[in-house]
């Protein structure tokens, strides 16, 4: 089965790509590499060669806003009598802070790019899509765990683009309910790395997110961690989030593809998280315990846009996809550190 994976060289995309190829899917990776290194592709190939796994996945360097590129991808697959049967759509910009600085760029890439992709899929009668959504769409919330029917109220342009895309997908599904099969996966906090240490999270510049910042402190690239607030209404005053191992998240995407394959048509949105909330202090302590390293930190003021608690109710994913997370917080810390230790400067 041929799958088009947009954004397949990013942190999440590369882990999904590896899993798809290992499971025997015929994978086309489309990526503009604006936010990722082409060395990721080398890392995927190294892993597959080390495991003696035959692979023939294709990489297309392109932008989802370029209709010609998208048309060519679908046309070429049809000409090979190997049409694209499903799309896993991750391509997009994802920095909350950056989306405040350049909102129109976020609307253009994320929403116009996705509209382009969906038009092309429709024209080529490819009606099956797994979309990379985000828990950010829930916005400020004082209820946890969060279920999928929680109020949608994004508080940043990035989250608003994700809501716009979910609405676009719904309208498209309603326009042809016989054919379209849509699964929007709402990620909480994907962290960690592939157990081989060949793939991991390598943010460009200073990491916005907690976990890669911790691993960069651990490897000596950052002096200390800044903890944004210890006066939140949580057990220890630091922010509580739902950290899900990147491989658990990736497996959720393959279960979503299987789910779509089992349906004539559907439209679902599903939380993907660990279902457990951990505070910043708990993450730091677990990381230190798992690695034997010391993570120095300073407590700073709260960060704009943060909330006290955000973690998932994952019962729908268990019920619909038969999916549940398998890896512990300790495994997240061990795998994340293993990647950073083996790749002190990331992919470059
Ligand atoms: C986690 C906790 C911070 C950094 C973001 C995006 C979301 C999604 C996942 C895309 C919070 C604290 C963080 C640091 C800290 N991405 N923190 N020091 O904000 O839950 O979610 O990433 O979909 O859209 O919003 O993740 O890792 O930034 O923060 O104390 O240097 O760690 O305050 O409590 P967040 P995060």
CA distances from 14 to 49, 113, 146, 200 (A): 16, 20, 27, 9
Residues 46-75, mean pLDDT to the nearest whole number: 96
To test the ligand 1 pocket, which listed residue (241, 246, 278, 332) has its Cβ within 8 A of the most ligand atoms?
Answer: 241
pLDDT recorded at residue 110: 98
pLDDT recorded at residue 328: 98
Q: Residue with the nearest Cα to atom 13 of ligand 1?
A: 210
Residues 281-300, mean pLDDT to the nearest whole number: 98
164 — pLDDT class (breaks 50, 70, 90) = very high
Mean pLDDT for the chain overall: 97
274 — pLDDT class (breaks 50, 70, 90) = very high
158 tagged catalytic: yes
pLDDT digits (tens, 9 = 90+) for 206-218: 999 999 999 999 9
For the Cβ of 110 lying below 6 angstroms from any atom of ligand 1, the answer is: no
For the Cβ of 303 lying below 6 angstroms from any atom of ligand 1, the answer is: yes
**Separation of alpha carbons 50 and 70, rounded Å:** 32
Residues 71-94, mean pLDDT to the nearest whole number: 97
Residues 4-11, mean pLDDT to the nearest whole number: 97
Render the burial of 286-318: b for 16+ CB within 10 Å, e for the rest: bbeebbebebebeeeeeeeeebbbbbbbbebbe
Tell the residue number behind the tokens 């994907």, with chain if given: 190
For the Cβ of 98 lying below 6 angstroms from any atom of ligand 1, the answer is: no
Listed residue (192, 230, 225) closest to 295, CA to CA? 225
Q: Residue with the nearest Cα to atom 15 of ligand 1?
A: 227
Q: Residue with the nearest Cα to atom 7 of ligand 1?
A: 136
Q: What is the Å distance from ligand 1's center to 210 Cα?
A: 6
pLDDT recorded at residue 304: 85
DSSP symbol at 16: H
Asked whether 1 and 27 are in contact (CB, 8 A), the reply is no
Which of 25, 106, 158, 259 is an active site residue?
A: 158
178 — pLDDT class (breaks 50, 70, 90) = very high
Give kind and range of the element (H or E) at residue 98.
helix 96-101
Q: Decide if pLDDT at 142 tops 80.
A: no
pLDDT recorded at residue 143: 84
305 — pLDDT class (breaks 50, 70, 90) = confident
Tell the residue number behind the tokens 């509209």, with chain if given: 115
Q: Decide if pLDDT at 29 tops 80.
A: yes
2-342 belongs to CATH 3.40.50.720 = yes
pLDDT recorded at residue 260: 98
**Separation of alpha carbons 104 and 157, rounded Å:** 9
pLDDT recorded at residue 320: 98
SS3 129: strand
pLDDT recorded at residue 312: 98
348 — pLDDT class (breaks 50, 70, 90) = confident
pLDDT digits (tens, 9 = 90+) for 208-257: 999 999 999 999 999 999 999 999 999 999 999 999 999 999 999 999 99
């Amino acid at each position: 089965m041929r799958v088009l994976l947009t954004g397949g060289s990013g942190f999440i995309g590369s882990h999904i790509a590896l899993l798809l190829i290992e499971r025997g899917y015929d994978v086309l990776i489309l990526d503009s590499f604006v936010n990722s290194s082409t060395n990721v592709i080398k890392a995927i190939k190294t892993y597959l060669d080390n495991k003696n796994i035959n692979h023939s996945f294709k990489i297309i360097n392109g932008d989802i806003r370029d209709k010609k590129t998208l048309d060519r991808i679908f046309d070429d697959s049809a000409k090979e009598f190997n049409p694209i049967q499903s799309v896993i759509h991750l391509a997009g910009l994802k920095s909350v802070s950056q989306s405040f600085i350049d909102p129109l760029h976020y609307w253009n890439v994320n929403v116009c790019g996705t509209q382009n992709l969906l038009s092309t899929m429709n024209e080529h009668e490819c009606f099956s899509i797994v979309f990379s959504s985000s828990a950010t769409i829930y916005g400020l919330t004082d209820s946890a765990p969060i279920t999928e029917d929680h109020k949608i109220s994004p508080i940043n342009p990035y989250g608003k683009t994700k809501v716009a895309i979910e609405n676009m997908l719904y309208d498209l599904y309603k326009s042809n309910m016989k054919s379209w099969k849509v699964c929007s996966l709402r990620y909480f906090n994907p962290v960690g790395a592939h157990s081989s240490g060949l793939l991991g999270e390598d943010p460009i510049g200073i990491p916005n997110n907690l976990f890669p910042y911790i691993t960069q402190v651990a490897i000596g690239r950052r002096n200390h961690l800044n903890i944004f607030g210890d006066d939140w209404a949580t057990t220890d005053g630091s922010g509580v989030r739902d950290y899900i191992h990147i491989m658990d998240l990736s497996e959720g995407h393959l279960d979503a593809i299987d789910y779509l394959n089992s349906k004539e048509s559907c439209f679902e949105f599903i939380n993907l998280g660990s279902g457990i909330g951990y505070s910043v202090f708990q993450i730091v302590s677990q990381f230190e315990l798992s690695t034997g390293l010391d993570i120095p930190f300073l407590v700073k003021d709260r960060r704009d846009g943060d909330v006290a608690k955000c973690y998932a109710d994952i019962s729908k994913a268990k019920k619909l996809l038969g999916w549940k997370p398998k890896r512990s917080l300790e495994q997240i810390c061990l795998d994340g550190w293993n990647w950073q230790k083996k790749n002190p400067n990331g992919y470059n």
